[in-house]
Every structure is written in C-alpha cells, then in structure tokens.
Amino acid sequence: MITKRQQREGREKAARLMREAGVVFQEQELEKLEVADFGLSRLETEGAQIFSLFDTKRLAARVITLFPYQTEPEHWHEPEGTGKEETFRVIAGTLLLYVDGEDTLSRGKIPEESRAYYTCRHELVLGPGDTVTLEPGKKHWFQAGEEPVVFYSMSTTASDARDPFTDPHIVRVTQITE
C-alpha cells in the first residue's frame, strides 16, 4: 500500500529522470505511470516506477525507473503458450540484473526484509546501451545501483497481474490510500 503522496512524488521523480534520459512522452501520459510497491509497503527498497509505452495483444514496451537500490522483486514469466520473452535495454544509469547461475553478487543489496525470496545470485551489470534478453520461465530480479536507472523492458504479451513472484506476500496490484 502506498499513499497518494508517495504515488505523486514517485511519478514526478521518475518523469524527471526519464526526461533527463531523453525519453519522449506527453505530460498527460504520466497519469498511467505506475508506482508499484508489490503490496509490500516498502516502496523505497522494493518497488518500481513503470511507464507503459504500449501494450498490444502481442507486444509490450515499458520504461522502468528505479531509484538507488530500489528493487523489483524476483519473479518469472510463465512459459505456457508462447511465453513472455523480455528484453532489457538500459537508457541511463546502471541496472543490476540477477538470474540463476553462479553466485557473483557483489554490487547489489538483497532487501533485508525479504532475503529468503531472492534466490537468483548471478549478477549482470548493465550500463547505457547494454541489452539482455531473458527467455520465458527464467527467474529474475533487478535493482538500481548507487544511481537511479532508466531502462526499457520490451516483451511479448505482458501479463503483469498473473506473473508469479517468489515472495508469496506480493500483490501485484498496488493499493493507493489517502
């Protein structure tokens, strides 16, 4: 759960960072910029600012902004059907991306409160212009480094509301209160 104020501030900060990174958008589109806390009510450590460029029946394009060490919790995209293939491409800042594999975690910080729900420890460090594609079904989580990060998430059909997360406490639809 987040407050309207947190939502407003999150949108403003994300909009400023996107603009500085050269992302083009219309002012009124900011109303659909999602400030997500994943139902955990600790937006600063586990949360994301998600701006959808478009969602069609086949494709989805997002610009995701994370503030320093803000983390999108570990999840995957079910491989049934064609599955969601997801490509990350960094626009500004550094993205720390974690997938299964040898434990190379050194720059990232696993959120203390939910340490048990972060099982991927193979660290990929992506800077501006770096691109990584994840096959459907591959578990992942990501985090900004010391500085905020702005990056694209391009994918086949998105099904955010149905994507499984490792942490059973996660509720994907953010509740907003006064």
- Residue 138 Cβ vs Zn ion, minimum distance, rounded to whole Å: 9
Closer residue to Zn ion (CB): 79 or 177:
79
Residues within window 85-144 making contact with Zn ion, judged by CB under 5 A: 86
Half-sphere exposure of 20 (CA within 13 A, CB side): 12
Any residues with CB less than 8 A from the CB of 145 and at least 6 apart, and which? 68, 69, 93, 94, 95, 96, 107, 108, 125
Q: How far apart are the first and last CA of the chain?
A: 10
- Residue 140 Cβ vs Zn ion, minimum distance, rounded to whole Å: 6
Stretch of 24-32, 41-49, 57-65, 81-89 contacting Zn ion, by CB under 5 A? 81-89
Bridge pairing between strands 34-36 and 48-55: antiparallel
Any residues with CB less than 8 A from the CB of 21 and at least 6 apart, and which? 91, 92, 150
Binding mask of the shown chain, residues 30 to 69, with x at each position contacting Zn ion by CB under 5 A: ----------------------------------------
- Tell me the two tokens of residue 177: 């209160």
Stretch of 2-10, 78-86, 101-109, 116-124 contacting Zn ion, by CB under 5 A? 78-86
H or E element in which residue 89 lies: strand 86-92
- Residue ranges in 21-54 assigned as alpha helix (H): none
Select the residue whose beta carbon is closest to Zn ion and give its number.
86
Q: Tokens 């910029």 sit at which residue? A: 33
- Residue 75 Cβ vs Zn ion, minimum distance, rounded to whole Å: 6
Binding mask of the shown chain, residues 158 to 177, with x at each position contacting Zn ion by CB under 5 A: --------------------
Stretch of 47-55, 83-91, 99-107, 115-123 contacting Zn ion, by CB under 5 A? 83-91
Stretch of 2-10, 54-62, 82-90, 117-125 contacting Zn ion, by CB under 5 A? 82-90
Residues that bind Zn ion (CB under 5 A): 86
